[in-house]
Amino acid sequence: MNTVAAYFRQIPRAVLVAVAAAVGLAVLVRQRLTRFDAETEAKLAQLTPAARAKFRTFLEAARERGWQVVFVSGYRTYAQQAALHAANPRNAAAPGHSSHETREAGDLNFIHSRTGAELRKGTSKIRWQASGLVYDAAAAGLTWGGPFGDNNHFSARS
């Protein structure tokens, strides 16, 4: 007889059901609290651990308000930053001077799951502030780029 099967057969069924239920619940809670779409998770994974924790806190608060994130840009290499800056100097900091290069920043658009409202770089500061997201970002320890004219930029640099 298979020894593994024999081992499980001696455990009362109620115990197995309870363990399976607990594991299932833990997985559901973890998904609800921490999982975002694959693109967002990939961008989060490239940030520093400290920045990642702040962005997760922010994005969870945003989700509570019904805002779904579109993670436009996170970590950038020096070369990527240089290319962006060369294409439009007013739109991106000079290479060597961006918190994207130090894995501390994210450019985030949002879409509201109920109203369909969108928040982007070009969306007015007033609308960003009215969304509650500027408050949530600050509460999570992030600095908003709005005061610098960069409305969808958030930085964990302190």
Q: Which residue is nearest to Zn ion (CB)?
A: 153
Spatial separation of the C-alpha atoms in residues 158 and 99, rounded to whole Å: 10
Cβ atoms within 10 Å of 39's Cβ, excluding its own: 13
Closest separation in Å from C-beta 150 to Zn ion: 6
Q: Does 153 bind Zn ion (CB under 5 A)?
A: yes
Residue 116: strand, helix, or coil:
coil
Kindly state the helix (H) or strand (E) to which residue 67 belongs, with its residue range: strand 67-73
Spatial separation of the C-alpha atoms in residues 60 and 57, rounded to whole Å: 5
- Tell me whether residue 68 or residue 109 sits nearer to Zn ion (CB atom): 109
Stretch that binds Zn ion, among 45-53, 82-90, 101-109, 130-138 (CB under 5 A): 101-109
- Tell me whether residue 66 or residue 73 sits nearer to Zn ion (CB atom): 73
Q: Which of 101, 104, 107, 136 binds Zn ion (CB under 5 A)?
A: 107
